[in-house]
Chain A
Amino acid sequence: SQTIHQWPATLVQPVGSPLSLECTVEGTSNPNLYWYRQAAGRGLQLLFYSVGIGQISSEVPQNLSASRPQDRQFILSSKKLLLSDSGFYLCAWAKYRNYGYTFGSGTRLTVV
C-alpha cells in the first residue's frame, strides 16, 4: 500500500534561518506531488506542484522553493525565513490526474 511521510512534525525557527522540509511517498511510482500551506484557521494555499523529477511549478511567488531530486521525494526550502512563513505545511500526492489527494501528516512551522 502507498504511504506518505513528512517530517519534521513541528519546527520552531528564527527569522532569517534556512528551511528544509522533506516529503517522501512509498509504494507507488511517478506520483504527482504537491506542497500546500495552511495559516492558522485558514484554507489551504497551493505553493508548488510537480508531475515528475525536476519538474516544479510555482503557484505563489515568495521566498520558498521546491525541488524533486528523486521520483518520490519532494523538498520545500527557504534560504531565509520570514515571520509570515509560519503555518501548517502539507505535502500531498496523487497517482493520476483526477485522483483524490492523500496528504501527509504535516509540519507545523513557527517562525520566531
Chain B
Amino acid sequence: QQPVQSPQAVILREGEDAVINCSSSKALYSVHWYRQKHGEAPVFLMILLKGGEQKGHEKISASFNEKKQQSSLYLTASQLSYSGTYFCGTGDRDDKIIFGKGTRLHILP
C-alpha cells in the first residue's frame, strides 16, 4: 500500500518554512525521507524507526508518529538548494520500502 504524501507541490520563497506529510494505512516499521533533484537519483535524508521519534539534518527535521502511522518532514528557513522532489518511503516488516508519489518543492529567490 503506497503512502500518501501531501501537499503534492509547494512553492516557497527563500527563508520560508515548509511541512511535508506522509501517511499510511498500514502499520509502519520505519519511515525514510529522500530528496531527488531533476534528472538525478534520490538522496537519502533520514530514517525514523520509533513512534514519536524526531531527527534533524541541518535545517531539515522529521517526526514519526507510529500510532497514527504518519510522518512529517520539516524544512526550516528554506534555501534554494532545498528545491526538488521529496519522497517518503514506508518500511514493512521485511524492510521493503514503498515510496509515495512525492512532493515537489520549488524555492524562489
A-to-B contact residues, CB < 8 Å: 32, 34, 36, 42-46, 49, 57, 59, 90, 94, 97-106
Contacts and interface: CB of A to CB of B under 8 A. Distances in A.
Nearest to A49: B96
Contacts of B98: 46
Q: Considering residues A42, A43, A97, A103, which has the most beta carbons from chain B within 10 angstroms of its beta carbon?
A: A43
B97 A46 contact: yes
B91 A98 contact: yes
In order of increasing CB-CB distance, the 5 nearest A-B pairs are A100-B44, A103-B41, A44-B99, A43-B101, A97-B95
Contact of A101 (B32, B40, B49): B32
Interface string B2-24: 10000000000000000000000
A42 B96 contact: no
A36 B89 CA distance: 12
Contacts of B46: 100
Contacts of B29: 98
Given A43-B87, A98-B95, A100-B32, A106 B41 contact: yes
Contacts of B44: 100-102
Given A100-B44, A101-B44, A44 B87 contact: yes
Contacts of A90: 41-42
Contacts of B41: 90, 103-106
A59 B49 CA distance: 23
A59 B42 CA distance: 20
Contacts of A49: 96
Contacts of B99: 36, 43-46
B75 to A, nearest CB: 18
Contacts of A42: 101
A62 to B, nearest CB: 17
30 contacts: A34-B97, A36-B99, A42-B101, A43-B2, A43-B87, A43-B99, A44-B42, A44-B87, A44-B99, A46-B96, A46-B99, A59-B96, A90-B41, A97-B95, A98-B29, A98-B47, A98-B49, A98-B91, A98-B95, A100-B32, A100-B46, A100-B47, A101-B34, A101-B42, A101-B44, A103-B42, A103-B43, A105-B40, A105-B41, A106-B40
